[in-house]
Structure 1
Amino acid sequence: MRHKTDWLSLLAGLLFIGIGIRYLTAPRPDALLMALILVFGLGFAGLIGIIAKTVRKR
């Protein structure tokens, strides 16, 4: 049985993995920049999730 990809969860997970890797490998990343990337990244993931759900219902 196949299930549909949850794009919001996939993209949000990849974003958090990327931020985690950045904090592990960089000496001290700028907290404000990382917060902005997080907010805009989650917004982008939400937008893609909404678009995918709309296209899927057609």
Structure 2
Amino acid sequence: RGRVFGNFSFLVTATSVLPVIFSGSIVEVFGIRFLLFMLAVMVFFVYAISKKFGNRFLAG
């Protein structure tokens, strides 16, 4: 069990490094309002897609 959680923790850490650096660069160039706006647009897009196709993915 410890190896599973250790590997999971490593994968979470490894995959979160690039988005943190990328978002920091975006904030430095465009500002925090732009980053938050883009995150809101992406969340809305995922919401719209899940409302349209969500039942297909859940039902199989």
Q: TM-score category by the smaller chain?
A: 0.3 to 0.5
TM-score (normalizing by structure 1): 0.47
Determine which structure has the larger helix proportion and give its number: 2
Identify which of structures 1 and 2 has the higher relative contact order when contacts are C-alpha pairs closer than 8 Å and 6+ apart: 1
